[in-house]
Amino acid sequence: MCFPCFPLLMLQTIIEMLKMYKYNCSSDEKLFGDDAVRIAICDDDGACRERLRKVVISCEALPNNAEIEGFSNGEALVSSHAANPFDIVFLDIQMDGMSGLETGQTIRSADRNVIIIFLTSYQQFVFQTFKIEAFDYIVKPADAPTIIDVLSRALNKYRTQHYMIQFKSQDGRNNALDVSEIILFESHNRTIKIITKDAYYYSSGSLNKYEHLLIPYGFLRCHQTYLVNMGYIKSIENAEIVTVFNHKVNMSVRKKQACIRAFNAYIVKYRV
């Protein structure tokens, strides 16, 4: 008796899917995220603040559980951010009292990951925002599509910063780290050293499994031994990557040009 080939193909597909599911579920390394983004709008002009709030709310990429809070001065924003940090900050440059640039610098010095978007009516201030590592700037008055474009890109960056990775360390403990806190992975003899600003963690296995999970979130496989978070790269010099914490990481000669292209693309997407 001859069975139709279509059901057989479907069965083969289902088997392959189950294999993939089994592989993914049996792995100790998993990613999970949180979309509860907090957004601040700081502008001493109440009408401008309200217009911007309405545009932000209209953005389709904005999660339903996003929190949006308005401020009329930099001092209030700094105080609120210290108590409960914001993820994305829209910040007018010219304000009475503490200027937007002063406010941004104060927030940046305490929080490296906050995404700052400056608002200005004068383009001559734009270059000063680079020193504060602003994500972008918006020249006032701006139309809704421009604001939504900048916000959508900021939300993409936020999501890369706020995913957690779960893994089992060599002592058998289950750990969870914010992906944005990881500076790099270093692999030797199937021991993987996970380096953050404040601690080291050790896991067993192949670096490939972390590469598979984290390449979409701003990590760069620059060498057989290293996987680096591009958000922490300070410079690429010859065949070496230097992080903002002065870790020096070898870069494969074979991968050098591809790494430079990937880092340049990352800068354009997330740092400019």
Dihedral of alpha carbons 15, 20, 23, 26, sign: negative
How many domains, the chain? Answer: 2
| 112: its two tokens | 């490296």
- What pLDDT does residue 74 have? 96
Return the SS3 of 195.
Answer: strand
Asked whether residue 149 falls in the same domain as residue 170, the answer is no
Confidence bin at 1 (pLDDT 50/70/90): very low
Average pLDDT over the chain, rounded to an integer: 85
H or E element that contains 146: helix 144-161
Asked whether residue 226 falls in the same domain as residue 144, the answer is no
Q: Of 195, 260, 261, 254, whose CA–CA distance to 229 is shortest?
A: 195
At position 183, the amino acid (one-letter code) is: I
- What pLDDT does residue 158 have? 87
Asked whether residue 153 falls in the same domain as residue 199, the answer is no
Asked whether residue 98 falls in the same domain as residue 200, the answer is no
- What pLDDT does residue 247 have? 96
Return the SS3 of 198.
Answer: coil
* Domain that residue 126 falls in: 38-161
Percent of the chain with pLDDT over 70: 85
Asked whether residue 77 falls in the same domain as residue 185, the answer is no
| 110: its two tokens | 């305490």
pLDDT tens-digit series, residues 65-114: 899 999 999 999 999 999 999 999 999 999 989 999 999 999 999 998 89
Helix segments in 144-238, DSSP class H: 144-161, 207-214
H or E element that contains 178: strand 174-178
